[in-house]
Amino acid sequence: MEVSSAEAALSVSASSIRITDVTQDGDVLTFALTSQKLDSSAGVCVFRIYEDFDWLQQSLFSQENLPGLQGIIFPPLPSKALPSQSNTQTKALKQLGFLALGQDWQSYCKALEFYLQQVAAHPTLCKCKALDSFLFNSESPGKQRGRKGIFNRLSQAVEEMRKESHKDVDNFFQNERNKNTNLAALSKVATEKLLDVVMTEQKLALACGHFSTSLHLCVNQDDASAVAFSKVCLKLSDVIEAVKRNLEKVASNNLSTLGLGLDLESRYQEAEKEMLFRRTCKLIELETVKKGTEKAKANKREVLEAFQKAVEKEFNLISSVAKQEIERFHSSHVNVLKNFLIGWCEVQLNTAKEFAELYSQHLEACRNMYSE
């Protein structure tokens, strides 16, 4: 299996994976995926629904014969979108954050796309067969799902919460865990706050729109002075309309760059946290085994020692994979954030310049409006 997957490893270029279209049919979103195999110039297009993504994720979780699997930071899959329940807009916002915003699920698609790219770019995960069939098989692979992964979201158990604060034997991991907890919380907050900002910007844009429309009410052509006033009102309406468009642009800029970036960041931190937690679980298991071995009677000791060794080996493997993964994650997260920040800054700068230009045109027009 390893051999074959190694061959398949580079069969797709991560950056070619695109979600080109999304269609909504009732409650189901269908995504059109295109990707390109490395050895051919022809693109492949398949249609996938969320369940397929979920299946892919589960398949990644449950890969067999992959040592240190638990040390891998799996790219985070966005949670499921429920498009038809438009009345639960606030709920969707709570659940999906930024991904619920944007026209026609654009940002959601972006997030899924990013997820696939991350999987494909991952040195270990890209070898998984499931990815191959997900990307290239025209049959929907999600049908044969049902294998609930062993790694589920960690949040459920109180017991696990206790485990989370378990003291680590390795300082590196202890530090990383502390930092991760911190960063995960902070990036989540930052994402939420930015979401608030964007929401307010949209509300403000809406209010501007109302104001601009209402200004048309004041138009009156009765006499000279009324016409003059009407002109002023119309001008103001235009100006407010421009302000509105500016706000919309700024909001969508925020959303499509920094918003997505922060969202991804916070989900990735969450993913790292899960990985660290899995490792901590293993550590606790190991420690229990150790204790059991010490207390065990001589006749059982050997069996237990052998078992302990196996667990220890596994734990060490996980730790080493985890170390690599963390390193990789750190550099990639800096990179990702950097790109988002640069992109954000650039679009905002462009928008600001564009509207400064527009405003100065309006200003000029206003000054010349009627010079008696």
Which residues of this chain interact with other proteins, rule CB under 8 A? Answer: 179, 182-183, 186-187, 189-190, 193-194, 196-197, 200-201, 203-204, 207-208, 210-211, 214-215, 217-218, 220, 222, 224-226, 228-229, 231-233, 235-236, 239, 243, 330, 334, 337-338, 341-342, 344-346, 348-349, 352-353, 355-356, 359-360, 362-363, 366-367, 369-370, 372
C-alpha to C-alpha distance for 155 and 98, rounded to whole angstroms: 22
> Cβ closer to other proteins: 152 or 335?
335
Pick the closest to residue 116 from 66, 163, 50 (CA basis). 50
Angle between helix axes 129-136 and 106-121 (nearest 10 degrees) is: 140
Q: How far is the CB of 227 from other proteins (least distance, A)?
A: 9
Residue 95 carries which DSSP code? H
Q: How far is the CB of 279 from other proteins (least distance, A)?
A: 19
Q: How far is the CB of 44 from other proteins (least distance, A)?
A: 35
Residues in Cβ contact with 47 at an 8 Å cutoff, skipping those fewer than 6 apart: 30, 31, 32, 33, 140
> Cβ closer to other proteins: 58 or 254?
254
Buried b (16+ CB within 10 A) or exposed e, 265-274: bbbbbbbbbb
> Cβ closer to other proteins: 234 or 296?
234
Q: How far is the CB of 179 from other proteins (least distance, A)?
A: 7
Q: Are 279 and 70 in contact (CB under 8 A)?
A: yes
At 187, list the tokens.
Answer: 């990036």
Residue 234 carries which DSSP code? H
> Cβ closer to other proteins: 112 or 243?
243
> Cβ closer to other proteins: 165 or 368?
368
Q: How far is the CB of 97 from other proteins (least distance, A)?
A: 14
> Cβ closer to other proteins: 32 or 190?
190
User: What SS3 class is residue 48?
Assistant: strand
> Cβ closer to other proteins: 174 or 220?
220
Q: How far is the CB of 175 from other proteins (least distance, A)?
A: 10
> Cβ closer to other proteins: 121 or 232?
232
Edge-first strand order for the sheet with 18-25 is 18-25, 28-36, 43-49
* Angstrom distances, CA of residue 179 to CA of 199, 247, 314, 330: 30, 36, 25, 12
C-alpha to C-alpha distance for 134 and 83, rounded to whole angstroms: 23
At 356, list the tokens.
Answer: 């400064």
Question: Which H/E stretch holds residue 248?
Answer: helix 224-254
Q: How far is CA 331 from the centre of its chain?
A: 17
Q: How far is the CB of 265 from other proteins (least distance, A)?
A: 9
Q: How far is the CB of 162 from other proteins (least distance, A)?
A: 24
